[in-house]
Structures are given as structure tokens and as C-alpha cells.
Amino acid sequence: MLDRPRSSLATLPTPLEEAGRPLEDGPRLWLKRDDLTGLGGGGNKARKLEFLCGEAMSLGSRALVTVGAAQSNHCRMTAAAGARLGLEVHLVLGGDAAEGSPTGNQLLATMFGAQLHHTGVAESHWGELEVARESLTDELAGQGLAPYSIPMGGSTALGALGYAVAFEELMGQCAQVGARPAAVVVTSSSGGTHAGLLAGRAAMVADGRLDASTAPDVVAVGVARGVTMGLPDIAQLGDDVLALMGRPAALGPDDVEVDARWMGDDYAVPTEPGDAAVAWAARTGGWLMDRTYSGKGLSGALAMIAEGRWGRDDDVVFVHTGGWPALFA
């Protein structure tokens, strides 16, 4: 599984912290602190970028190109990876350049030396943004930079491989603390983290290291329209990850659960439950979550707990994927 070029970018393993019981008669909640991966302020993208940048370096690329919303965590962390590896970084961003000095993730990306390309495209129009990324990639290739171009969120099979590895890390930590999670809950937009976790679970079951009857559900809280409508195809992306791991396809539609109730009006549009979850996290454990991604994901996890999906004898892990710099935008 790890016999692939890999750049050392993340601080691993990330902690698994107990968050107590949000409801007295509810399950014990744990946070997998992937906001503490270290790189450029931390977040889940560091795990993906280790494999993506490993390939870029092996190909002799001199520049990284990627795309995201105006306050994209992935773009900020790609900029940090480029700084670490000595690569030029170009970020294709939704929306227009803000007046005055940059804030939040854009401020950090510029500090890391990235060049920002504002498109004026709405943040939810991912297809148009990807076209802009491809156009810029062609332009930079013409300049001889041999750019390595990364789609939205780094959610290719190679990027998602980082979360197949993360699932095994998480299961080892659960065993150490005596937790037997009924579910692993994760926020999903471009789908790579979700697909990687599913592939990691399937691989451990196939290897006999995890009993299929007790393997935790992987429950995604969808925060973008595409993933709530089945785009990308999470099962196919997970099977592509398994292929990279040298294992047969194992995932089907029944393995993929995306709860779309907590997205709100659209991607990057805050919601009242999301803001309440951000406040709960801050006041309960000093955990910082953003309003676009992690806050909405946690709101879904807390709502499912309130609905009684899991009982007092259960453990539930929420994968905290980071995003706090957007709080300062």
C-alpha cells in the first residue's frame, strides 16, 4: 500500500480525543484530530498531499496547480506543501479578489508564497473552476514549468489513499483506548476523504484485521451539492483506491451513506445548526471548526446522536478535518 512516492508533510499520527457524551443517554463521542496534521495550519488535505506531492516530485514537476473556493483549505495547504518542497504554487480560486489585504486562508496562502488567480466564478460552480484550472495548467506547461495539476480537494484515488492509511491508524488508536466505534462520521464535499475511509475499512476486512460484522459504519455529512447527488461516485473512487492498494474492488452503493440534510442552501453558505456546532465545539473542548465544512459536519453528527441513532453503549468518532483559518475571513 505504501510502496509509492510519498512526501513527508503531515505530523502523524494525529490524536484521538474523547469529547464525552453530548447527550446523557447517548453514545460516547470521540474526535480524530486531523486538524492537527501540522502542515500550514493543519487539516485533512495534508494526508492527501503526501501522496500527490510525492508523485509530483517523482515526475520532476516544478509547480503545483490546484483549485478551490475563495477560502479553500485545500488551496491553503497546497501552498504550504509547495513552500516545504520548493515548488511554485498557483491557486485557482472562486469569486473575486477582495478589496484590501487578504484574510483567512488567502492570507496564509500568500504568506506561503502562492500565486492567487481569482476567477470571478461562483464557489459552487465547480465545473467552471476545474476548466479554469486546466487552462492555467496548459499555460504553465507552455512556460516549461512541468506543472502537477490537482483537482478540487485533491480527491483523486492517489490523494484518497491517504485516508485509507488514516482508517488503519484510527482503528489502532481505538483499540488502544478501548473504543469500538459503531460509526466514523466525516464531512464530505469532493469525496476523497470519504472514499479513502471506505477503502481503508474494506482493506482491513479483506485482510482479516477487522470483522465485517463489527466494522464501523462510515457516515458522511454532505456539504456540497455534487456529493449529495452522487458526484463523484464514492464507491467507484473507493474501488480505485483499493486498486492502488493491490486489492480487488469491494465497494457498492450500499456502502456509501451521505446525509444531505445539513448542507443548507449551498456549499459555503453557513447554517444555524452548523454555527451552533461550531460554538459547541469551542465551548466544550476548545476545538476550532469552520462554518463551511467541519462545523456543518459536526452539526450532522450531533443531530444523529439527538435522533437516537446510537445508544449509550456505542462509541462514535467524528473526523475533525480542520478549516479553522476560514474563521478569520
- β-sheet bridge partners, residue 148: 64
- Predicted TM-score (pTM) of the model is 0.96
The pLDDT score that the predictor gives to residue 206 is 95
Going by C-alpha positions, the residue among 199, 262, 255 that lies closest to residue 228 is: 262
What is the rounded average pLDDT of the residues 244-254? 93
Q: Where are the domains of the chain?
A: 16-42+155-328, 45-153
Task: Give yes or no on whether 16-42+155-328 and 45-153 have one common fold.
Answer: yes
Q: At 20, is the secondary structure helix, strand, or coil?
A: strand
- Helical packing angle, 104-111 and 73-85, nearest 10°: 10
| Residue 101 burial (10 A CB sphere; 0-12, 13-18, 19+) | exposed
Radius of gyration of the chain (CA): 19
Q: Are 292 and 270 in contact (CB under 8 A)?
A: yes
Going by C-alpha positions, the residue among 33, 101, 111, 118 that lies closest to residue 77 is: 111
pLDDT in tens, 65-106: 999 999 999 999 999 999 999 999 999 999 999 888 999 999
Q: Characterise 115 by phi-psi region: left (phi > 0), alpha (psi -120 to 50), beta (else).
A: beta
The pLDDT score that the predictor gives to residue 124 is 81
CA-CA-CA-CA dihedral for 224, 323, 256, 266, to nearest 10:
-10
Residue 12 has pLDDT above 80, yes or no: yes
What is the maximum alpha-carbon separation in the chain? 62
The pLDDT score that the predictor gives to residue 123 is 81
Residue 268 has pLDDT above 90, yes or no: no
Q: At 171, is the secondary structure helix, strand, or coil?
A: helix
Going by C-alpha positions, the residue among 192, 130, 125 that lies closest to residue 160 is: 192
Q: Any alpha helices (H) in the chain, and if so which ranges?
A: 45-58, 73-85, 104-111, 126-142, 157-177, 192-206, 225-228, 234-244, 272-285, 294-306
Question: 7, 61, 72, 294: which one is catalytic?
Answer: 72
User: pLDDT band at 231, cuts 50/70/90?
Assistant: confident
Residue 1 has pLDDT above 60, yes or no: no
Q: At 30, is the secondary structure helix, strand, or coil?
A: strand
User: pLDDT band at 213, cuts 50/70/90?
Assistant: very high
CATH numeric code, 16-42+155-328? 3.40.50.1100
Share of the chain above pLDDT 90, in %: 91
Residue 15 has pLDDT above 60, yes or no: yes
Domain 45-153, what architecture? 3-Layer(aba) Sandwich (3.40)
| DSSP character string of 70-97 | TT-HHHHHHHHHHHHHT-EEEEEESSPP
The pLDDT score that the predictor gives to residue 3 is 82
The pLDDT score that the predictor gives to residue 321 is 97
User: pLDDT band at 2, cuts 50/70/90?
Assistant: low
User: pLDDT band at 125, cuts 50/70/90?
Assistant: confident
What is the rounded average pLDDT of the residues 297-305? 98
72 catalytic residue (yes or no): yes
What is the rounded average pLDDT of the residues 125-152? 95
Q: At 225, is the secondary structure helix, strand, or coil?
A: helix
